[in-house]
């Protein structure tokens, strides 16, 4: 353990060693940081900006102003649609409402009016987008307010950093687990990328010839053939076919696993506009609920789910010699053969004895799934690749196919463990076992399971304690002990309090953290330690102490716990909280016919906007045919630092 601690401290020192560290205020105890493996020189302002982390959103009224016209046009369409539902013409009040709302937003965005020839053109553009009568816009212009307030120029810092990274061949990414910024060298990324491709043999290089035009043509022809054969309907064909103006080839990028030796990379194929993405989403929407139903007894999706099942199992089955085991499946997405992966979907459909689902025959689903799996293409560093093994990480269908494949692979393992009174659960490529076997027998069985399928490689950790997802578990002389697990890569980084998003979004962070602490920590002392660590992390992220305390009390009140937690009542009140459903799940469902959801980009001057908006709404629509409609205001955010600084497309 001492050696392990020394290694962690050495790693921590390596991460924080910067050539310009003498000019920067030190990181401080547990403060969130950046991982500067490339040892790039940073000024104090640059370092402090990156230290704010990928989620940080600075005040950007220019973005809010730039989006204003589109957002107003969307609101106008929604209001007019509600009038049309009542078979009433929207008329002048809608135009007046939008015009006055436009002025209100300009005041809040602090956009000055300039007397120059371009003003008329701007007004004409606004009139075209919003369809507001010209006299309403011009008459309202003098109401605008000028402001001389200055702000820290984050825009200039962002541009300077992007220029510096380009000049020095630096790759900026957020880390795979801790989600702080990581700075690496392009050459290092390229070497690790080549090593990964050589290891998996899952990608075929196509050179510099772009496969996108041919893929678009083949996808549309494949869908048309299915339509002509009446395997899919005309509506499904129109839903799935590819518009060449709306698609682009996927691209591969990597997230650094900074918590592991050598900083290996996790491959991500980003294909949100890939020609097959609509088919992938369509199939996944049909198939994933079936898998969830089939695998209900052997699957968990969170540490809290495992905690509840383990807590119940341990009452009768946990003994002093009970072993806890976690198993990792290596490179699951890329190691599953494409043909066998699709056959696993077919086995699932046969399991439910289904002839069709969602109006599609089983054979149609199999064909479409095969087409998606066999047509994953992407670009990297100017080269094009075809994935010939496994599925693309990032494609919705890949997860369901991988889950199905693992489900049928694990059947003999589950049966063996269940017959001996053990516990088995899986979350994608992570497996948890609790068994009353001798350790030699368990090791031997893991070796045997590794012979089941040459594509599945299992790596096991066996002990009296285990870490699974965010849950730490211990067998303490036959007593179950649990608390929150923080990975070695853990950085106490959360959305900074001085970030722009509205207060209610920030309040939810300490609320969720304190709720998890009570649920996971099985003893009062463990809970106190976790609570103080959370308090420190939140303080380091600029959260006020009063807000932290109020959110802790809010957790108790939400679950109707009126007593303060103590060593005497902790176990009883914790059990009460674990057994209670989350209050948010008991909310009355929205009546969408009587509600209208409206979103505007948020900036710091808009704290008074909700009240002013509702006053305007009541002024123009309080006695109108849509007076029963309640507008629900939501916020859009400007881009965070990750979107502004990180470019995954090479």
Residue-wise DSSP of 79-144? HHHHHHHTT----HHHHHHHHHHHHHHHHHHT-----STHHHHHHHHHHHHH---HHHHHHHGGG-
Q: Are residues 519 and 647 in the same domain?
A: no
Rounded mean pLDDT, 93-108: 94
pLDDT confidence of residue 589: 65
pLDDT confidence of residue 583: 58
Query: What pTM was computed for the model?
Result: 0.82
**Count of Cβ atoms closer than 10 Å to residue 576 Cβ:** 13
Distance CA 132, CA 139 (A): 12
Residue 32 covered by a domain: yes
Rounded mean pLDDT, 346-369: 94
Min mean pLDDT across 114-123, 199-208, 405-414 is at 114-123
Residue 45 covered by a domain: yes
Q: Are residues 107 and 174 in the same domain?
A: yes
The DSSP output letter for 22 is G
Residue 232 covered by a domain: no
The domain boundary, picked from 586, 614, 638, lies at 586
Find all residues with CB under 8 Å of 444, minimum gap 6, and list them. Answer: none
Residue 534 covered by a domain: yes
Q: How confident is the model at residue 587 (pLDDT cuts 50, 70, 90)?
A: low
Whether 123 has a pLDDT exceeding 50, the answer reads: no
Q: Are residues 541 and 644 in the same domain?
A: no
Q: Are residues 536 and 634 in the same domain?
A: no
Find all residues with CB under 8 Å of 634, minimum gap 6, and list them. Answer: 597, 598, 599
Q: Are residues 612 and 579 in the same domain?
A: no
pLDDT confidence of residue 6: 43
Min mean pLDDT across 40-44, 255-259, 306-310, 523-527 is at 255-259
pLDDT confidence of residue 179: 82
Q: Are residues 162 and 78 in the same domain?
A: yes
pLDDT confidence of residue 152: 63
Q: Are residues 61 and 165 in the same domain?
A: yes
pLDDT confidence of residue 393: 82
Q: How confident is the model at residue 386 (pLDDT cuts 50, 70, 90)?
A: very high
Residue 57 covered by a domain: yes
CB 412 within 8 A of CB 401: no
Q: How confident is the model at residue 32 (pLDDT cuts 50, 70, 90)?
A: low
Higher pLDDT, 307 or 262: 307
pLDDT confidence of residue 26: 35
Min mean pLDDT across 21-25, 333-337, 384-388, 487-491 is at 21-25
Residue 287 covered by a domain: no
| Length in residues, the chain | 650
Q: Are residues 510 and 639 in the same domain?
A: no
Whether 4 has a pLDDT exceeding 80, the answer reads: no
Domains in the chain: how many in total?
2
Tokens describing residue 426: 């899986």
| pLDDT, mean over the chain | 87
User: Beta strand pairing status for 377-380 and 203-207?
Assistant: unpaired
Residue 267's beta-bridge partner residues?
254
The domain boundary, picked from 558, 586, 614, lies at 586
Q: Are residues 573 and 615 in the same domain?
A: no
pLDDT confidence of residue 9: 43
CB 268 within 8 A of CB 395: no
Rounded mean pLDDT, 253-257: 90
Q: Are residues 23 and 112 in the same domain?
A: yes
pLDDT confidence of residue 581: 72
Rounded mean pLDDT, 479-502: 88
Q: Are residues 616 and 531 in the same domain?
A: no
The domain boundary, picked from 559, 586, 613, lies at 586
Whether 48 has a pLDDT exceeding 80, the answer reads: yes
Residue 54 covered by a domain: yes
- Predicted confidence (pLDDT) per residue in 393-444, tens digit: 888 999 999 999 999 999 999 999 999 999 999 999 999 999 999 999 999 9
Higher pLDDT, 223 or 590: 223
Residue-range definition of the domain harbouring residue 552: 503-586
Residue 633's beta-bridge partner residues?
598
Burial of 150 (0-12, 13-18, 19+ CB in 10 A): exposed
3-class SS at 346?
helix
Q: How confident is the model at residue 55 (pLDDT cuts 50, 70, 90)?
A: very high
Q: Are residues 173 and 42 in the same domain?
A: yes
Residue 153 covered by a domain: yes
CB 606 within 8 A of CB 108: yes
Strands of the sheet containing 181-185, edge to edge, are 35-36, 181-185, 170-174
Whether 208 has a pLDDT exceeding 50, the answer reads: yes
CB 311 within 8 A of CB 476: no
Min mean pLDDT across 324-338, 365-379, 493-507, 557-571 is at 493-507
Q: How confident is the model at residue 585 (pLDDT cuts 50, 70, 90)?
A: low
3-class SS at 242?
coil
């Amino acid at each position: 353990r001492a050696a392990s601690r020394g290694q962690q401290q050495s790693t921590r020192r390596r991460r924080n060693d910067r050539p310009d560290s003498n000019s920067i205020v030190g990181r401080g105890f547990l403060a969130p940081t950046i991982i500067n493996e490339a040892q790039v020189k940073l000024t104090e302002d640059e370092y402090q900006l990156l230290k704010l982390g990928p989620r940080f959103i600075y005040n950007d009224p220019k973005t809010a102003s730039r989006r204003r016209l589109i957002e107003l046009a969307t609101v106008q369409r929604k209001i007019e649609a509600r009038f049309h539902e009542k078979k009433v013409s929207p008329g002048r009040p809608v135009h007046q409402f939008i015009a006055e709302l436009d002025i209100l937003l300009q005041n809040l965005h602090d956009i000055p009016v300039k007397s120059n020839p371009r003003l008329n053109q701007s007004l004409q553009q606004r009139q075209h987008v919003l369809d507001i009568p010209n006299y309403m816009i011009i008459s309202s212009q003098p109401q605008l307010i000028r402001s001389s307030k200055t702000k820290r120029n984050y825009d200039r810092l962002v541009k300077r950093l992007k220029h510096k990274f380009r000049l020095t061949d630096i790759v900026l990414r957020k880390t795979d687990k801790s989600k702080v910024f990581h700075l690496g060298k392009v050459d290092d990324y390229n070497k690790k990328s080549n090593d990964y491709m050589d290891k998996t043999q899952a990608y075929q290089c196509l050179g510099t010839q772009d496969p996108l035009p041919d893929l678009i043509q083949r996808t549309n022809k494949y869908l048309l053939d299915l339509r002509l054969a009446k395997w899919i309907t005309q509506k499904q064909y129109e839903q799935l076919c590819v518009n060449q103006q709306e698609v682009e080839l996927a691209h591969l990028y990597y997230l650094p696993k900074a918590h592991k030796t050598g900083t290996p990379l996790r491959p991500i194929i980003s294909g949100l506009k890939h020609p097959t993405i609509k088919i992938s989403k369509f199939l996944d929407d049909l198939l994933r609920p079936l898998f969830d139903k089939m695998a209900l007894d052997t699957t968990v999706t969170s540490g809290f789910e495992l905690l509840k099942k383990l807590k119940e199992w341990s009452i009768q089955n946990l003994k002093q010699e009970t072993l806890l085991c976690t198993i990792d499946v290596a490179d699951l997405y890329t190691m599953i053969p494409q043909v066998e992966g699709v056959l696993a979907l077919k086995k699932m459909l046969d399991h439910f004895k289904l002839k069709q689902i969602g109006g599609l025959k089983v054979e149609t689903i199999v064909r479409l799934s095969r087409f998606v799996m066999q047509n994953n293409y992407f670009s990297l560093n100017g080269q094009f690749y075809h994935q010939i093994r496994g599925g693309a990480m990032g494609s919705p269908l890949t997860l369901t196919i991988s889950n199905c494949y693992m489900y049928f692979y694990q059947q003999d393992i589950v049966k063996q463990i269940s017959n001996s009174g053990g516990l088995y659960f899986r979350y994608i490529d992570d497996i948890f076992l609790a068994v009353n076997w001798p350790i030699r027998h368990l090791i031997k069985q893991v070796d045997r399971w590794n012979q089941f399928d040459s594509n599945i490689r299992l790596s096991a950790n066996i002990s009296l304690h285990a870490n699974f997802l965010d849950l730490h578990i211990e067998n303490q002389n036959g007593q179950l002990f649990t608390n929150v697990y923080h990975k070695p890569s853990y950085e106490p980084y959360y959305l900074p309090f001085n970030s722009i998003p509205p207060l209610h979004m920030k309040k939810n962070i300490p609320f969720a953290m304190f709720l998890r602490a009570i649920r996971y920590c099985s003893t009062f002392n463990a809970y106190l330690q976790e609570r103080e660590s959370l308090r420190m992390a939140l303080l380091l992220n600029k959260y006020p102490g009063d807000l932290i305390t109020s959110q802790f009390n809010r957790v108790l009140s939400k679950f109707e716990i009126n007593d303060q937690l103590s060593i005497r009542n902790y176990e009883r009140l914790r059990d009460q909280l674990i057994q209670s459903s989350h209050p948010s799940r008991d909310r009355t469902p929205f009546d969408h016919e009587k509600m209208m959801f409206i979103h505007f980009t948020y900036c710091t001057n808009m704290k008074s906007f909700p009240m002013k908006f509702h006053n305007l709404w009541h002024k123009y629509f309080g006695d109108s045919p849509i007076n029963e409609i309640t507008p629900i205001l939501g916020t859009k955010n400007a881009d965070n630092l990750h979107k502004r600084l990180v470019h995954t497309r090479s």
